[in-house]
Structure 1
């Protein structure tokens, strides 16, 4: 291919192959925001427009949008679209390629957990026993103890999710989570010793509030509420961990 022909191909064809497609899209959109091609407050192109321009799948676009949102560059207005934040660029967007890989692993892992654990929570609302409820309550109580002591131990968090999976009365959910949880729980993979005790306890408090929202829906046999509460918890967890990775680099 001649240099002239190479310069005439679509933007996606010139991307560096060693990057994942979603990280390439993140980099391109972030640069357009930086130079003002996508001004502050402006609505980003639609998913379809991005798919057509860059020749990527809807999944790639959605992963990139999730990363851009977690990076503080855009905000999502559900039912309307994605918009460049007014404060975009106040904190420079400087994710290394290594950080982008970590971000994408967390996003993908939590997306998988959202699909599995949301349904497990809905089934638990229908099928839980008093013993199941007590196990979930004990996990929340153990998290309260961790909050008081700013404990970095992840066991109470893990036990909560195991107890919800077990309450589904479907052993496959429990077995899958027992593997996925140890592999994909972000707090098991990210060092937290550099965070102050007060800040870390505040983080655990928010997490346990989300846990208790799941517990309350399961107690009430509210399957839709349990599904929504677990989805919100894991989505918020994804956003928190991605934001932490952003500021660590």
Structure 2
């Protein structure tokens, strides 16, 4: 029997697709080992772009809900064996919920940025630069840059030399990036590009502080970045609420 692929309004298309699959998997409607439709089939069924499908699958993989097998496709993972703490995008439907997540990030990432500035290696810096380059490429392609953005923050966590920082970021997953959850209905490609360029400017300030091994500057720029993100998200929600 063909399933319905209807999507609710308001949250981003990527989050809508990822949430639909997450709910189906957690409800047992999609079972462990079941193969998902092909990328082209999903594009047709959901009426979205290839980028949306790929970002949704990346989000599901990061949550441990699906696995990719080269040459075979994407399959539902053995999620019963992977019950761990996660923040999932279908929980982030209000400004308060997103602010709570950003507050959690601030508590963890502020300290991580300071330690990374003190202990980073040349390899750590190279990994961060690769992430920044990937964000630039994603912006140029008109994509949302969610995955490379998350990778940049994980690279900072890795640079602490404490594996628990990176593991904690991995467990949180890329839905901690606010634009994963909600985007304005009226957002234009130009507005998205300007938004992401501002975010990327903040990323570069964080990187420069870590590169200089300036602990206080690393903490300050990280705090500035997350607090600016909270304000951008507030404006985004307010704008989406207007008729």
TM beyond 0.5: yes
Q: 199-208 vs 141-150, which deviates more? A: 141-150
Q: Cα distance, 1:152 vs. partner?
A: 2.0
**What does residue 169 of structure 1 align with?**
161
| Contact 2:174 2:180 (C-alpha < 8 Å) held by counterparts | yes
* Corresponding residue for residue 182 of structure 1: 174
1:21 is matched with none
Q: Which residue of 2 aligns with 1:77?
A: none
Q: 1:209 Cα shift?
A: 0.5
The structure that has the greater radius of gyration is 1
1:203 pairs with one of 160, 179, 195: 195
SS in 2 for 1:131: helix
After the TM superposition, which residues 66-105 of structure 1 pair with which residues of structure 2 at under 5 Å, given as runs? 102-105=94-97
**Alignment partner, residue 126 of structure 2:** 134
CA RMSD of aligned residues (A): 1.7
Aligned CA distance change for structure 1 residues 197 and 183 (closer, same or farther; 3 Å)? closer
Whole-Å Cα distance in 1 between the matches of residues 207 and 175 of structure 2? 24
Structure 1: stretches of 5+ with no match in the other structure:
1-99
**In 2, Cα distance between the equivalents of 1:230 and 1:112?**
13
Query: Aligned partners of 1:228, 1:175: CA distance in 2, in Å?
Result: 23
Superposed CA offset, 1:168-208 (max 9, x none): 11111111111224342212111367411111111110001
SS at match of 1:190: coil
TM-score by length of 2: 0.59
Q: Does 1:156 align with 2:153?
A: no
- 2: CA distance between counterparts of 1:131 and 1:223? 18
Q: Which residue of 2 aligns with 1:9?
A: none
Please state how far the C-alpha of 1:127 moved relative to its aligned partner. 0.7
Aligned equivalents of 1:244, 1:125: Cα separation in 2: 32
Superposed CA offset, 1:125-149 (max 9, x none)? 0111111000101111111112222
Contact 2:135 2:145 in 1 (8 A): no
Query: Which among 230, 239, 247 is matched to residue 222 of structure 2?
Result: 230
Give the TM-score of the pair, scaled to structure 1: 0.57
Structure 2 gaps of 5+ residues are: 1-91
Q: 1:182 to 1:230 in 2, by over 3 A?
A: same
What aligned pairs does 1:40-51 form with structure 2 within 5 A after superposition? Answer: none
